């Protein structure tokens, strides 16, 4: 990621950039209720833009197998109660990436078992092998996968953009605080309409 010193506008090298689409699967989108459609529409636009401009795409989804559930300690407040509830089970339709964002040839796909995109996947390794040093993030929920992945990616020294309109939270106030006040400390916050300006 470079910055044009004349205009202050951030620029990317498409060959070293990846669009990361996170948790766009029925089980997660359903939890957003009326807030689910807008980020999905904008993620679809971003995916088209990435493919048109030869930007690497990575898809992240959350899904558990029996051994994953067995390994979660009961004190984990987010995932410790999943065992026996038959939710977020790998191989079920609820954990598939939605049809509108289905991965294409050459796109990275990882399965995670925690909130962030890095800690339980080899995403960082795959991105580095592809020469990627800048990430454009889109995901649901804003207060979950997006927040955690911003922190993880910043600690891994990636240049970062967050697509504010391709993220959503069931609490719009939380979304607004994160995209308006928290993320800008570690990422450039833009909309999908501003993607072309990065090139």
Q: 46-57 pLDDT, tens per residue?
A: 999 999 999 999
Residue-wise pLDDT tens for the chain (199 aa)? 665 433 456 899 999 999 999 999 999 999 999 999 999 999 999 999 999 999 999 999 999 998 999 888 989 988 887 877 878 999 999 999 999 999 999 999 999 999 999 999 999 999 999 999 999 999 999 999 999 999 999 999 999 999 999 999 999 999 999 999 999 999 999 999 999 999 9
Nearest to 152 by CA among 116, 182, 126: 116
pTM recorded for the entire structure: 0.94
pLDDT at 2: 61
Contact 95, 27 (CB under 8 A): yes
Contacts of 67 (CB under 8 A, 6+ apart): none
pLDDT at 70: 87
Distance between CA atoms of 137 and 116, rounded to whole angstroms?
12
What is the fold, at CATH topology level, of the domain defined by 2-63+97-198?
A: Rossmann fold (3.40.50)
Contacts of 173 (CB under 8 A, 6+ apart): none
pLDDT at 5: 36
Nearest to 82 by CA among 115, 105, 49: 115
Distance between CA atoms of 135 and 161, rounded to whole angstroms?
6
Nearest to 55 by CA among 135, 173, 174: 135
pLDDT at 160: 98
pLDDT at 82: 80
């Amino acid at each position: 990621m470079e910055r044009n010193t004349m205009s202050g506008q951030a620029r990317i090298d498409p060959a070293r950039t990846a669009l990361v689409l996170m948790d766009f699967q029925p089980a997660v989108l359903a939890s957003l209720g009326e807030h689910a459609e807008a980020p999905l529409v904008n993620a679809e636009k971003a995916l088209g833009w990435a493919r048109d401009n030869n930007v690497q795409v990575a898809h992240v989804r959350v899904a558990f197998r029996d051994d994953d559930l067995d390994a979660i300690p009961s004190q984990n407040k987010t995932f410790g109660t999943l065992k026996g509830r038959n939710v977020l089970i790998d191989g079920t339709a609820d954990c598939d990436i939605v049809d509108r964002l289905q991965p294409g040839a050459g796109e990275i796909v990882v399965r995670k078992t925690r909130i962030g995109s890095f800690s339980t996947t080899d995403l960082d390794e795959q991105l580095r092998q592809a020469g990627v040093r800048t990430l454009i993030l889109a995901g649901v929920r804003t207060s979950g996968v997006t927040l955690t992945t911003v922190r993880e990616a910043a600690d891994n020294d990636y240049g970062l953009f967050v697509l504010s309109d391709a993220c959503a939270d069931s609490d719009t106030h939380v979304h607004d605080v994160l995209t308006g006040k928290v993320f800008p400390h570690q990422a450039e916050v833009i909309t999908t309409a501003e993607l072309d300006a990065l090139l």
